[in-house]
Amino acid sequence: MLRYIAKRLIGLVPVFFGITLISFFVIHLAPGKPTDVDTSLNPKVSYEARMRLEKLYGFDKPIHVQYLNWLKAFVFFDFGSSFVDGRPVAEKIAERIPVTLLINISSMILMLSIGIPLGILSAVKRGSLLDRTTTIVTFIGFSVPEFWLALLLMSFFAITLGWLPISGIKSLDFEYYSLAGKILDVARHLVLPVAIAAFGSLAGISRYTRSAMIGVIHQDYIRSARAKGLSERIVIYRHALKNAMLPVITILGLSVPGLIGGSVIFESIFAIPGMGRLFYESVMARDYSTIMGILSIGAILTLLGNFLADIAYSYADPRIRVTGSGE
Amino acid sequence: MKTFLKNKAAFASLLFIAMIILFAFFAPLVARHDPSAIDTNSILAAPSGAHIFGTDTLGRDIFARIVYGSRISLAIGFIAVGIAVLIGTVFGSIAGYYGGKADSIMMRFVDIMLCFPAFFLILAVIAVLEPSIFNIMAVIGLTSWMGVARLVRAEVMTLKERDFVWASKVMGASDTWIIARHLIPNAIGPVFVSATLGIGGAILTESALSFLGIGVQPPTPSWGNILMDGKSTLGVAWWLTIFPGLFILFTVLSYNLLGEGLRDALEPKLKELSTK
């Protein structure tokens, strides 16, 4: 097992460099230099001052040297400082990331705890009313614009019914609450964003669980388990589920980028101060160093998610470990 | 084809998509109002005989804006997916056909691209370039070809061992000829399915971008930027949010159901398994 993990880890290294290279390339698609606003577009700035400024930021060096310098700093989580307020990008990201992770992890737990049982039930009771309803709901889940759903639910639950707060992460008088009150307050604020994030990916998970389960149920070992006289419960949950979970783990790993990317949308709608909103603000302000930092962090989180999925997969299926091919 | 026509959901979806395409082509005939005509006498008017879907904050007819907006959705859906299919097919068939080192390097690149949350990458590129319709199409296409590449690669890898490919090789056909004339046409079936589903995805992405204000720029109407208007007036003008949202939902749903129907028609074996 350890050998397998080490092998996968080594495999991640080139992907990591690829990620940094692409992030760097994307930002350098921009015409001109970020210092242009202060220099060539400003007639009062002398040629010497412009050169000094460019030298300060390292723009006078060839592009591959710039990349290597950036990469060297990047490995130590130094993403430079923001063009907007001059604060270190790493600090800005660090204070925003916990909320985003909290929302993504809670919505993932919610999605799994609804999606998997739903998938199993619709596979076992195929063609039933439940199965057909689930199919319809999953198709809607695939097709609905999440931001639209968020708007409608926000207007219904927060404005019409007044049950939940409209936006933000905590109430104005948050400081005066007891600890339990604080937790409850944050939880109330997170209900809608978490539910919506989960709904979007619920469709995928329940559908994959269903089709994986259907594929497994028709296999010989299930028939022999039934022939042995095992109860249907044990056959489904002990024997079938284990194998049906394999493709689901892969899908779970693949759904990480969607969740992280989606955080831009619902964090903007619900005014949640997370990484997604920071990214949106940086895009609007053309804050290239922050954009570059978050882009790479997002990709690395995805890489981490895939890595964990790989490990979980090999843990669930020893064949992968033995043959050593995780492809 | 028969199985496809029997699928009621897919058929209904096809009709809905046809309707949207007609809307896009004959927008001036379908909509009675000019989508950008400002009417200060009927600002935020509720749906009525004159404006069946109501009007927005500038008194513009929502139905007309939705009808004209379908042009954007259609163009972005088809062109973005066209770009993705083109890149994915060429990339996947080369990787699959040559195999070996070229294949492993190319697929590693696909892995790297898949690590980026697509929406982040799109936003970053839009931040750097201008949010024009052309750039949006291009960037959606450039960030969504990886699935197609994997599909085509897998198909090509099984196809290239088949007798007809060997026969063609023995007759002296060049690699390019084999890939273009024998492999790609035979591998294209599943690509159609994925492309149909991809159009739905591209429409969703465009609407999300426009909703955030970094997509199609006003005054050009797109379903997403009508919704952006709706956000601030949700309490007083529900029609501004409900109608464009339903159009996005039904259009994307139609492409998804159509894709699913195509899959069932193209892969009868799979269908058998899932309905057994």
Going by the DSSP 8-state scheme, the letter that residue A60 receives in this structure is T
φ/ψ of residue B26, rounded to 5: -110, 35
| Nearest residue to A156 via CA among B241, B185, B210 | B241
Give the percent of chain B with pLDDT over 70.
Answer: 94
Cβ separation B120–A294 shorter than 8 A: yes
- Alpha-carbon gap, residue B183 to B217, rounded angstroms: 41
| pTM of structure | 0.84
Q: Which residue has the higher pLDDT, A83 or B224?
A: B224
Q: Within a domain: residue B101? A: yes
Residue B16 has pLDDT above 50, yes or no: yes
Q: Which residue has the higher pLDDT, A32 or B69?
A: B69
Q: Within a domain: residue B36? A: no
Which of A15, A26, A145 has the CB atom closest to B248's CB atom? Answer: A145
**What is the full per-residue pLDDT of chain A (327 aa) written as tens digits?**
788 888 888 888 888 888 888 888 887 777 666 666 666 666 667 777 777 777 776 777 777 788 888 888 888 878 778 877 888 888 888 888 888 888 888 988 898 899 888 888 888 888 788 888 888 888 888 889 888 988 888 888 877 777 777 777 777 676 777 777 777 777 788 888 888 888 878 888 888 888 888 888 888 888 888 888 888 888 888 778 877 787 788 778 777 888 888 888 888 888 888 899 999 998 888 888 888 888 888 888 888 888 888 888 887 777 766 665 444
Return the pLDDT at B87. 95
Output the DSSP codes for B147-186.
Answer: HHHHHHHHHHHHHTTSHHHHHHHHTT--HHHIIIIIIHHH
Residue for token digits 């843990």?
A315
Q: Within a domain: residue B42? A: no
Interface mutation target, options A8, A128, A131, A148, chain B, most CBs of B under 10 Å: A148
- Alpha-carbon gap, residue A178 to A181, rounded angstroms: 5
Contacts of A211 in chain B (CB under 8 A): 274
Contacts of A295 in chain B (CB under 8 A): 116, 120-121, 124
Cβ separation A151–B126 shorter than 8 A: no
Q: Do residues B13 and B258 touch, judged by C-beta distance below 8 A?
A: yes
Q: Within a domain: residue B227? A: yes
Q: Is A88 helix (H, G, I), strand (E, B) or coil?
A: strand
ipTM over 0.85: no
Kindly state the tokens that stand for B80. Answer: 């973005």
Report the CATH number that the domain containing residue B61 is assigned in CATH. Answer: 1.10.3720.10
Q: Which residues, at least 6 apart from A241, have a Cβ–Cβ distance to it below 8 Å?
A: A120, A213
B167-218 confidence digits (pLDDT tens): 888 888 888 888 888 888 888 888 888 899 899 999 999 999 888 888 888 7
Cβ separation A283–B214 shorter than 8 A: yes
Contacts of A269 in chain B (CB under 8 A): 231
Which of A30, A151, A303 has the CB atom closest to B115's CB atom? Answer: A303
Q: Within a domain: residue B34? A: no
Return the pLDDT at A33. 63
Contacts of B204 in chain A (CB under 8 A): 143, 145
Q: Do residues A93 and A298 touch, judged by C-beta distance below 8 A?
A: no
Interface mutation target, options A283, A301, A304, A310, chain B, most CBs of B under 10 Å: A283
Tell me the pLDDT band of B246, cut-offs 50, 70 and 90.
very high
φ/ψ of residue B101, rounded to 5: -65, -45
Return the pLDDT at B276. 37
Interface mutation target, options B76, B110, B115, chain A, most CBs of A under 10 Å: B115
- Alpha-carbon gap, residue A71 to A65, rounded angstroms: 10
Tell me the pLDDT band of B94, cut-offs 50, 70 and 90.
very high
Q: Residue B78's domain spans which residues?
A: 2-26+54-274
CB-based contact, B193 to chain A, within 8 Å: no
CB-based contact, B208 to chain A, within 8 Å: yes
Domain count, chain B: 1
Q: Within a domain: residue B38? A: no
Q: Within a domain: residue B232? A: yes
Return the pLDDT at B250. 93
CB-based contact, B177 to chain A, within 8 Å: no
Contacts of B234 in chain A (CB under 8 A): 151, 155, 159
Q: Within a domain: residue B204? A: yes
Residue for token digits 């296409």?
B141
